[in-house]
Amino acid sequence: MSTAGRRPNQNTQASQRTRGASYSERVDHGRTRAGDLTSKAVAAVFVAIIVVGIFFGFQYLQSRDDVNAQISYVSHEEIDEDTLGVWVDVTRNRPEEAAYCIVQAYDYSKAEVGRREFALAPDGRETIRAFVEIPTTAPAVAGDAYGCSSTIPPYMDTEHPIYE
């Protein structure tokens, strides 16, 4: 039986069309053009989130360098039922600039029962050991150093600090 006069069947036509095609053109693995666009959109959103995260992380690190003073807790002393004394060390990057810090007092349940802000005059000293009395609303058993800032609130007097 000769195939000279017969029409080629559909299978033969399909195989002839795909002979010159690359593997990825012949096999689509179930992907569609819409799926490709979705994948690209997800990748673009992921890259955008990473870029935004890096930007805000950089901004945060720069703002941390702007803080003029760091505070560290040393010890505390119960003066009476309504007052806790706290010793802290304050180290300043720029001692010629004023700063202020916050100390806290806690009760047995670790609830804050007192807080005090104190100003640091621009006196040129890089390290200061300060004793600050914190008025409390209940008997305090522990103290802590909260933090410092170089942005002085308008109600604070940097010329007459309250610490000893």
DSSP category for residue 72: E
Q: Is 80 exceeded by the pLDDT of residue 14?
A: no
Q: Is 60 exceeded by the pLDDT of residue 52?
A: yes
| Mean per-residue pLDDT over the chain, rounded | 82
**111-118 long-range contacts, CB within 8 A, separation 24+:** 113/137, 113/138, 113/139, 113/140, 114/84, 114/140, 115/146, 117/153, 117/156, 118/161, 118/162, 118/163
pTM higher than the cut 0.75: no
The pair phi, psi for residue 24, each rounded to 5°, is -70, -25
Q: Residue 116: what pLDDT?
A: 94
Which position has the higher pLDDT, 83 or 60? 83
* pLDDT tens column, 98-156: 889 999 999 999 999 999 999 888 888 899 999 999 999 999 999 999 999 888 888 88
* pLDDT tens column, 25-36: 555 555 556 667
Q: Residue 41: what pLDDT?
A: 87
Work out the pLDDT band at 17, boundaries 50, 70, 90. low
- For the 69-149 domain, the top CATH level (class) is mainly beta
